[in-house]
Amino acid sequence: MSFKSIDTFHNYALDQLTAKLTQQQDLLSTIQRVLPEELASHALHCVAHNTTLMVYTDLAVWSSQLRFHKAAMLEAAATFTNPVLTNIQIRLISQK
């Protein structure tokens, strides 16, 4: 008895998750390009939800610095998302 390779199965749910993750990674790269180099490395993840861009960072000090670049991040995201993002939330990734 032979087993089929997992590659032979088409999983639509996994395809959707992979596409969503790729979209989020592309958005993060877009946002990081408009930030100063030191700050860009602390923008760890981005998610667009409705008209809000959520940017995740690791420390509160970087959170306050990211807020200074709100306009640049929204402008960069405008070419990337539909609908246009009008708000930003900066969130901390909890350190456990």
Q: What angle do CA 36, 37, 43 make, to 5 degrees?
A: 85
pLDDT digits (tens, 9 = 90+) for 25-68: 999 999 999 999 999 999 999 999 999 999 999 999 999 999 99
pTM (predicted TM-score): 0.82
The two three-digit tokens of residue 8, written as one number = 């032979």
| C-alpha separations of 83 from 34, 73, 79 in Å | 20, 15, 10
Instruction: Please give the distance of CA 68 from its chain centroid, rounded to a whole number.
Output: 18
Class of domain 11-92: alpha beta
- Tell me: pLDDT of 84 over 90: no
Domain map of the chain by residue range? Answer: 11-92
